């Protein structure tokens, strides 16, 4: 366990581009987008983009529609002329608008993260066999189990952790930008912009969410890692091909869709949320379900297989 930090560092060095520079570029682009929005709305005065879409009606069943209109352009609501209109909203509505705005800032990073982690697991036990560097890695006193565990932890915790920090920075920038834009206006900054953003609660929730997703998606990622460990060519074809054939067989033989549903549910974090009707407290119950416990057993078997094949692995 003492060598785990250096093994994680080694993974980071190899994948610096997608683990670090990619989220950094997305951060910069998002900030540019934010500044452009502020500039259009704040300096140019008229909210060119959406000036027509904001109408505040008091009370009644139409409130829901208004929130939705905001959620199309939630960030615009915080700047320029619209800020005063935003400040006049009901507290619940303000929270909803801000929630959408802060989530929106994180969306590009979350989408990219999934692809980055998937590609990482797909190649991490395959590429070094292909370029022969496995002979160097295996000439070091690092066990095969330790190698596979370090790769699992990299994709499951290290990379999401980096992206999470970038998301937090981005949300902090949104908060600060909205505060700066509000300077000089007569609105109550604390009640309008800071308190309803719930930034600390939000970060705690995001961290918890990432940890839950790591467990939820584990069987899929363990499968990808397993294939990466033994495939002699095109690991992606095996990763997709084998489950595809099994799903077809299940359908033809049993008219069943269990496997297809399992994959659809666990492959994407969205599947996790589609099951939650309540709040974060329900997460625990979902995680203690028999299905999740069985999927953890499956993951353990796949990881054991990945370690076994890593032990046999030679240059390709």
**Which residues are near other proteins by CB under 8 A?**
3, 5-7, 9-10, 13-14, 128, 131-133, 135-136, 138-144, 146, 311-312, 314
The smaller minimum CB distance to other proteins, of residues 7 and 175, is found at 7
**Is the CB of 148 or the CB of 213 nearer to other proteins?**
148
CA separation for the pair 226, 152 (Å, rounded): 11
Q: Which is nearer to other proteins, 95 or 127 (CB)?
A: 127
Q: How far is the CB of 12 from other proteins (least distance, A)?
A: 10
Nearest approach, Cβ of 306 to other proteins (angstroms)?
16
Q: Which is nearer to other proteins, 203 or 304 (CB)?
A: 304
Q: How far is the CB of 7 from other proteins (least distance, A)?
A: 7
Shortest distance (Å) from residue 228 CB to other proteins: 16
Minimum CB distance to other proteins, residue 304 (Å): 17
CA distances from 308 to 154, 217, 225, 226, 292 (A): 19, 22, 12, 9, 24
Tokens of 280: 């974060």
* CA dihedral sign, ordered 41, 103, 207, 26: negative
Least distance in angstroms from the C-beta of 126 to other proteins:
13
What are the φ and ψ backbone dihedral angles of 125, each rounded to 5 degrees? -110, 10
Helix axes 144-153, 290-312, angle to 10 degrees: 130
Rounded CA-CA distance 278/115 in Å is 28
Answer for the pair 130, 293: CB distance below 8 angstroms, yes or no: no
User: 315 and 132 in contact (C-beta within 8 Å)?
Assistant: yes
Judged by CB, which is closer to other proteins: 271, or 311?
311
Distance from first CA to last CA of the chain, Å, rounded? 29
- Of 21 and 251, the one with the shorter C-beta distance to other proteins is 21
Instruction: Provide CB contacts within 8 A for 300, sequence distance 6+.
Output: 222
Q: Between residues 66 and 144, which has the closer beta carbon with respect to other proteins?
A: 144
Least separation in angstroms between residue 139's CB and other proteins is: 4
Q: Which is nearer to other proteins, 50 or 142 (CB)?
A: 142
124 burial level (CB within 10 Å; 0-12, 13-18, 19+)? buried
Q: Compute the distance between CA of residue 95 and CA of residue 88 in angstroms, rounded to an integer.
A: 12
SS3 186: coil
> What's the rounded Cα separation, in Å, for the pair 178 and 17?
31
CB of 5 to other proteins, least distance (A): 7
Distance CA 138, CA 313 (A): 10
């Amino acid at each position: 366990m003492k060598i785990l930090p250096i093994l994680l560092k080694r993974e980071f060095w190899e994948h610096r581009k997608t683990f670090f520079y990619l989220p950094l570029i997305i951060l910069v682009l998002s900030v540019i987008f934010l500044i452009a929005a502020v500039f259009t709305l704040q300096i140019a005065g008229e909210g060119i983009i959406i000036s027509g879409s904001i109408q505040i009606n008091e009370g009644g069943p139409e409130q829901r529609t208004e929130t939705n209109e905001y959620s199309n352009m939630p960030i615009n609501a915080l700047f320029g002329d619209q800020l005063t209109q935003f400040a006049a909203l009901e507290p619940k509505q303000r929270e909803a608008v801000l929630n959408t705005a802060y989530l929106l800032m994180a969306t590009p990073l979350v989408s990219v993260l999934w692809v980055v982690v998937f590609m990482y697991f797909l190649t991490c036990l395959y590429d070094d066999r292909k370029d022969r560097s496995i002979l160097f890695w295996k000439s070091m006193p690092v066990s095969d189990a330790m190698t596979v565990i370090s790769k699992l932890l990299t994709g499951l915790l290290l990379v999401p952790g980096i992206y999470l920090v970038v998301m937090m920075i981005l949300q902090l920038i949104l908060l600060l930008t909205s505060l700066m834009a509000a300077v000089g206006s007569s609105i109550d900054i604390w009640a309008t912009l800071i308190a309803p953003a719930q930034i600390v609660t939000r970060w705690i929730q995001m961290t918890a969410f990432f940890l839950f997703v790591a467990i939820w998606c584990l069987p899929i990622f363990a499968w990808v890692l397993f294939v990466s460990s033994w495939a002699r060519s095109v690991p992606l074809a095996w990763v997709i091909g084998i489950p595809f054939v099994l799903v077809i067989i299940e359908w033809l033989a049993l008219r069943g869709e269990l496997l297809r549903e399992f994959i659809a549910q666990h492959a994407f974090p969205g599947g996790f949320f589609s099951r939650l009707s309540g709040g974060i407290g329900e997460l625990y119950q979902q995680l203690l379900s028999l299905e999740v416990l069985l999927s953890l057993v499956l993951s353990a078997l796949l990881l054991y297989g990945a370690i076994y094949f890593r032990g046999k692995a030679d240059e390709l």
